[in-house]
Amino acid sequence: MLPVRNQGLVRLIAIGDYGAVRDTIPYLGAIGYADPDRWSKLIPTGREGEYLSIHTRRYAPEPE
């Protein structure tokens, strides 16, 4: 594992109705975009029927 100072951070946010967010998470994992195990639990946004989930990923930035 890289020391934190050598890592970048990216957060992805999925917002939508419960089923759409739930179904999108494994799809993004299947295409290699975002590990399904790194998403937060679905959180209600306060709008009727709307939920969000956050994916946090650390990575080694490309040298400039």
For 29-64, what is each residue's pLDDT tens digit? 999 999 999 999 999 999 999 999 999 988 777 766
pLDDT, position 39: 97
Domain range for 49 is 4-59
In a domain, 55, yes or no: yes
Token output for 42: 């679905």
pTM for this one?
0.76
63 SS3 class? coil
In a domain, 28, yes or no: yes
| Strand spans (E) along the chain | 8-17, 43-44, 50-59
In a domain, 11, yes or no: yes
Domain tally, the chain: 1
pLDDT, position 60: 75
